[in-house]
Structure 1
Amino acid sequence: MTPYSSLCDDFGVYVYLNTKMDLPSGRETVLHFFEGMRKMYPQMMDFERREGGEFVLEEDREQGSYRWVTLEARRLCAGFVNPPDLESADSLHEHILEVAPFHLDFNPLDCEALDVLFAFDFMYGGNHDEVVAEALGLNTTLESLLQMPGSRVINYEPSLMLALDEACRLQCRLSIETRTNAYQIRTGQFPDAPISVYFTVRQYWGRQPIKEFGDSYRNQRRLCQELVDSHVIPAIVRPLAQTIAAKQ
Structure 2
Amino acid sequence: MAALRQSAVSLQSNLPYASRSLRPLPSLNLSFSATIPSLKLPSSVRSRGGPRMSATVASSYASALADLAQSNNTLDTTIVDVEKVEKVFSDPDVLNFFASPIIDTEKKRQVLDEIVKSYALQPHVANFINILVDSQRIDTIIDIIKEFETVYNNLTNTELAVVSSVIKLQPDHLAQIAKQVQKLSGAKNVRIKNVIDPSLVAGFTIRYGNSGSKLIDMSIKTQLQEIASQLDLGDIQLAL
Q: TM-score, normalised by structure 1?
A: 0.23
Q: TM-score, normalised by structure 2?
A: 0.24
More strand per residue: 1
